[in-house]
Amino acid sequence: MSVLLIEAFYGGSHKQLMDLLQEELQDDCVLCTLPAKKWHWKARTAALYFMQTVPTSTNYRILFASSVLNLAELAALRPDLGKLKKVLYFHENQLVYPVQKCQERDFQYGYNQILSCLVADVVVFNSAFNMESFLTSIGKFMKLIPDHRPKDLEKIIRPKCQVLYFPVRFPDVSRFMPEHKLAHLEKVMGVRRNGDAHQLEARQKSGALMKTRDTHCESGLCEAQPGPCTTQQEGLPSPRTAPARGATSDVSESTNPCQEEDNQHLTFNLTNILSGRDCQQRPLHVAWPHRWEHDKDPETFFKVLLKLKEKDLPFHVSVLGEAFTEIPDIFSEAKKALGSSVLHWGYLPSKDDYFQALCMADVVISTAKHEFFGVAMVEAVYCGCYPLCPKALVYPEIFPGRDGWLFLGSARRQIQVSARSRTEGRFVTDGAKSQTCSLRQNCGSFQSVPIFT
């Protein structure tokens, strides 16, 4: 047990990452967690809890934790852990995380993350957007301190920083795909059809969207060795260390009773869709697989769909995200207003059901106000959905090079054009297929990233 894994918010992508690490490291790690509830309290108090519950061991060499944990507090409370090589992973950063009202931002959350970076030996971000937005916001953030402000914190932290894209496991979903998507897969990616089975050529190794280059060996993040499916696709930025600046599913427990009711009365029916009308005659099927929270801007998304409804443009929608304690009112309002256009409404606890729903959709949409990686969008594109997302945040980094994949102007206009194109029989999924190929070619085993050496 040389690696100690600590997760103060064990749910969603945080859980997904820890489970993958535990699977890869096997008996060489021990995992300590807290449930994914009441995030604010976990950020404030998790260090004290782990001080008492993390078992002592002389075998530990490395401590790996997400930035929810106040690493500085834990290192002070447990000197034995403070001596380890400490790796801090940022799923998101609190310096630019959107809040509904500016005065609601709690200074302490961002301050804790800065302290954690100062005591960490290696700081890892899931995207260059996440890393740069954090580092370049430190100076402005510290100006909130009324006097005696610390200086040059960015210069101290930046040399420790590294980008490692979030590891996404891509399962074989071809059994869920309708015929028109399989035809595109065969054309663009190369799908072998053996009897009733459809096997992807690149499926030999389930990989991760993580590939390192120009890493800091002295910090323990040595250059990745080439492995299966690690070819660098031009256009998708490879993970990298922070450059010096010049003068400049298991997911967390859902508390939404509406979703629990919907899980018992699913309107999504794979058989009906597969045996239904030709794909070009079906209404456009839109997927929205995001958390039911204000930072994902569901108001804009549903406003556009209701506009389509007013214009009598046919479409179907699957709202697949997870809800927590506070659910924006727009969800109950939109479900009632959209009526028969809804194919599915609510969180799907089964990964197979989730991927099946994505495979049957045509378009995946994000109207997010923040996104530091976007696992749900990547998974949907892998399932053959055409991505429509803001030309901002992390999206140009993950889906580069083709303006048609991003909103160039009004989100409403882009979605309306997609719906109208489907109605006229002109909807094309080649772009999504090409991007899926790019994503898969950037896959590699997590073992190819020797972060735990």
Sign, CA torsion 397/399/400/403:
negative
Q: How confident is the model at residue 370 (pLDDT cuts 50, 70, 90)?
A: confident
Q: How confident is the model at residue 407 (pLDDT cuts 50, 70, 90)?
A: low
* Dihedral class, residue 20 (left if φ above 0, else alpha if ψ from -120 to 50, else beta): alpha
For residue 326, the model assigns a pLDDT of 81
**Tokens 């909807």 map to which residue?**
427
Residue 21 has pLDDT above 60, yes or no: yes
Distance, in Å, from the CA atom of 357 to the CA atom of 12, rounded to the nearest integer, reads 18
Say if CB 13 and CB 250 are below 8 A apart.
no
Q: Which residue has the higher pLDDT, 284 or 276?
A: 284
For residue 101, the model assigns a pLDDT of 59
Distance, in Å, from the CA atom of 448 to the CA atom of 218, rounded to the nearest integer, reads 17
Residue 439 has pLDDT above 80, yes or no: no
Residue 40 has pLDDT above 70, yes or no: yes
What tokens appear for 221 in the block?
Answer: 């993040």
Distance, in Å, from the CA atom of 381 to the CA atom of 192, rounded to the nearest integer, reads 20
| Cα Dmax for the chain | 72
Highest mean pLDDT among 6-15, 256-265, 385-394, 414-423: 6-15
Residues whose CB falls within 8 Å of the CB of residue 452, separated by 6 or more in sequence, listed in order: 2, 3, 25, 28, 62, 64, 87
Q: Is the pTM of this model over 0.95?
A: no
Residue 263 has pLDDT above 80, yes or no: no
Q: Which residue has the higher pLDDT, 260 or 393?
A: 393
* 143-157, 175-189, 249-263: the lowest-pLDDT one: 249-263
160-176 burial code (b ≥16 CB/10 A, e <16): bbbbbbbbbbbeebbeb
What tokens appear for 413 in the block?
Answer: 């206009």
**Tokens 């009112």 map to which residue?**
329
The strands making up 85-90's β-sheet, listed across from edge to edge, are 29-35, 3-10, 62-66, 85-90, 122-125, 161-163
Distance, in Å, from the CA atom of 309 to the CA atom of 81, rounded to the nearest integer, reads 57
For residue 112, how many C-alpha atoms fall within 13 Å in the half-sphere facing its CB?
24
For residue 185, the model assigns a pLDDT of 73
Output the average pLDDT for the chain.
76
Q: Which residue, among 82, 67, 71, 72, has the nearest Cα to 134 in the 3D structure?
A: 67
For residue 14, the model assigns a pLDDT of 94
Say if CB 242 and CB 161 are below 8 A apart.
yes
Highest mean pLDDT among 231-240, 256-265, 278-287: 278-287
Residue 438 has pLDDT above 60, yes or no: no
Q: How confident is the model at residue 436 (pLDDT cuts 50, 70, 90)?
A: very low
What are the pLDDT digits (tens) for 180-239? 888 877 776 655 554 344 444 433 333 333 333 333 333 333 333 333 333 333 333 344
What tokens appear for 161 in the block?
Answer: 């920083």
Average pLDDT rounded to a whole number, residues 235-258? 46
For residue 262, the model assigns a pLDDT of 44
Whole-number percent of the chain with pLDDT over 70: 66
Distance, in Å, from the CA atom of 263 to the CA atom of 121, rounded to the nearest integer, reads 44
**Tokens 């045996």 map to which residue?**
275
The one-character DSSP state at 199 is E
Q: Which residue, among 123, 119, 113, 120, has the nearest Cα to 221 in the 3D structure?
A: 123
What tokens appear for 268 in the block?
Answer: 């999504």
The one-character DSSP state at 317 is E
Say if CB 7 and CB 33 are below 8 A apart.
yes
